[in-house]
Amino acid sequence: MKRREFIKNIGLVTGAGIATFSIAGIPVKAFARPFMNVQGTNGKILVIIQFKGGNDGLNTVIPLDQYSLYQTNRPTLAIPQSSIVSLTAATGLHSSLQPLKALFDSGKMTLVQNVGYPNQNRSHFRSTDIWLSASDYNQTLYNGWIGRYLPKAFPEYPSLPPLYPMAIQLGSVQSLLFENQQYGGLAISFQSPNSFYQLVQGSSVDNDPPPATLAGDELKFLKEVANQSIQYASIVRDTSSKGNHTSNYPANNTLAQQFNIIANLILGGLQTPVYLVTLDGFDTHADQQNAARHPKLLSDFAGAVTAFQTDLQDHNLADKVVVMTFSEFGRRVKENVSKGTDHGAALPIFVIGNNVQGGIIGQNAQLASNKLDGNGDIQFSYDFRQVYATMLKDHFGMTDTQLNQILLKQFSTLPLLKSSPTDVTDYNAIPDDYTLMQNYPNPFNPSTTIKYALPQSTEVRLKVYDMLGKNVATLVDSYQSAGSHTVQFNANGLASGTYFYALETRSQKIVKKMVLVK
């Protein structure tokens, strides 16, 4: 290796910004625009808020129809009836959630009551892992449900990763949510796009293979993370600086500041489909109603999502985005001796966005002692994985088969979202976006069929490249009409191996891989 190349590899090239690097021999800079199709995300975005510590669902969504029973169980913690924000005659919100009423009244917020799972685990950590991995209570998974979803949305990963991050976590410690058994963590984490860029600037990618030992596994992991940060720091900074939020995000509210960053990224055009933010402090064993504790957390949540929703609406982006909350468990119905609540079971979750149906799914938590579980906790009516199934299918457009593969068993969806995605497999109609289908047969010898579709009439080139990025065939180079097209590729005269075929137009470049086996 030449000295100059090595210096680049170990991260000392300065002044060059993000260095060019290669994936399977093809310089990434060749793909100057996001080239991944959006079939697997449906062009949608999901923002997940984790309420860390176990949110007291009963002081969040209050059963007005059982107020006296609620008050008996919560002599010091019950929210006075007069300050409860009523949504319906039977159901109200904690007074700190006042801003959410407008969202609810305009049909932009859906509450799902009593979400949980059978045999509730009351350990923070185990139950958090259950929610993040979408496992059964007695099953341990080392990967997250979003980590299993993302490779289905980006089927070319990792050979052709998208030019934008598949997922973003605001924070510094990668969540299990994004872990994939095969590929490791699929999200990038940072706290501010600018400082992220500045830190990464000047580093470049390292492809030296590690030894096959346990220690070597750790080295491989370190390289992967370093490479991810190099790959995405620049696009994150650039899109963030393009985004220009207009909404007024409340001060003294860290969640709102995080939503402000996410809004800038979405407004700037980043196509990342999943974001995770965390609000910590819900483990309220004592002095729960202290203004700095549960009320402050709820008020931060309400202020942040309200500002975010306004921002998206102002920029006509609110149809793309859904916000959902979760927490590892709700809390005990009966308060403890320290004016707090211990670990409980089911709890309500919030789903917010233009595309939600609005209203309340399910009935209020049932507080009568014969309706509680043996521990005195609220029983679940909906499995949390039904909510996930709904997001995957009705928001991201996953098929039933993909849904079962991601959630590992079958879950029915809930009537949460207004519109289901259009059928993306109907290629005879004029599509919404440029589409390049996987060739068939694949692998092939010597000929194969490639289909693609155009949303509008345009100049089109369909080219074939070898592993070194050399153009070995040009199948189409003409002005074509909108709609779907088919070409045959005959590989006579080419050697066995992996090839790439690229659909290039003035504004788009989509690349897929095919394998010739002679």
Partner 1 sequence: MSTLNYLKKISVWDADAARHILSRSLFGFTKDDVTFALTKTLDDFVDNYLLKDQPLPSSPTYNGTSWTTLPDNTTNQTNYTNWQYSLIYWWYNLMLNQGYSFREKMVLFLHNNFTSQYATVRIPQLMYIQNQLFRQNVFGNFKDLTKKVTIDPAMLIYLNGEQNSKGAPNENYARELMELFTLGIGNYTEDDIHNSARALTGWRVDRTNLTSSFIPNLFDNTNKTFLGKTGNWTYSDIVDIIFDSRDASNNPIAARFICNKLYKEFAYYQPNVDYINQLADVFVANNYNLKPVLSSMLKSQYFHSVDIRGARIKPPVEFLLSLMKQFGIPNVNNDILGYIRSQAGALQQILFDPPDVRGWQGQRKWISTITYPTRNAFTDNNINGYKISAATTLKVDILQYARSYSSSEDAIAFINDVTKQLIQFPISEMRKDELLSTLLDGAAVYDWNTYDSAAPARLQTFFKSLMRLPEFQLS
Residues that bind partner 1 (CB under 8 A): 1, 3, 6-7, 9-12, 52-53, 121-126, 171-174, 185, 188-191, 196, 199-200, 203, 206, 208, 211, 213-215, 217-219, 221-223, 225-226, 228-229, 232-233, 280, 283, 285-286, 334-338, 340, 342-343, 375
Angle formed at CA 185 by CA 201 and CA 322, multiple of 5 degrees: 95
Minimum Å gap between C-beta 62 and partner 1 is: 21
Nearer of residues 189 and 354 to partner 1, judged by Cβ: 189
Minimum Å gap between C-beta 196 and partner 1 is: 6
Tell me if 406 sits within 8 A of 398, measured CB to CB. yes
Nearer of residues 220 and 513 to partner 1, judged by Cβ: 220
Q: What does the alpha-carbon distance between residue 453 and residue 464 come to, in Å, rounded to a whole number? A: 17
3-state DSSP of 329-352: CCECCCCCCCCCCCECCCEEEEEE
Nearer of residues 89 and 214 to partner 1, judged by Cβ: 214
Nearer of residues 373 and 433 to partner 1, judged by Cβ: 373
Nearer of residues 343 and 395 to partner 1, judged by Cβ: 343
Nearer of residues 69 and 487 to partner 1, judged by Cβ: 69
Nearer of residues 223 and 418 to partner 1, judged by Cβ: 223
Nearer of residues 311 and 377 to partner 1, judged by Cβ: 377
| Residue whose C-alpha is closest to residue 389's, from 370, 402, 378, 380 | 402
Minimum Å gap between C-beta 231 and partner 1 is: 9
* Alpha helices by DSSP H, 250-314: 254-267, 294-314
Q: What does the alpha-carbon distance between residue 430 and residue 449 come to, in Å, rounded to a whole number? A: 20
The count of C-alpha atoms lying within 13 angstroms of the C-alpha of 455, restricted to the half-sphere facing its C-beta, is 11
Minimum Å gap between C-beta 170 and partner 1 is: 10
Q: How far is CA 31 from the centre of its chain?
A: 24
Minimum Å gap between C-beta 479 and partner 1 is: 42
Nearer of residues 275 and 411 to partner 1, judged by Cβ: 275
Q: What does the alpha-carbon distance between residue 11 and residue 291 come to, in Å, rounded to a whole number? A: 48
| Residue whose C-alpha is closest to residue 86's, from 97, 70, 74 | 97
Minimum Å gap between C-beta 287 and partner 1 is: 8
Minimum Å gap between C-beta 121 and partner 1 is: 8
φ/ψ bin of 359: left (φ > 0), alpha (ψ from -120 to 50), beta (otherwise): left
Minimum Å gap between C-beta 166 and partner 1 is: 12
CA distances from 473 to 19, 78, 500 (A): 29, 73, 10
* Alpha helices by DSSP H, 383-491: 384-390, 400-407
SS3 506: coil
CA distances from 35 to 28, 42, 156, 166, 367 (A): 11, 15, 11, 13, 53
Minimum Å gap between C-beta 50 and partner 1 is: 12
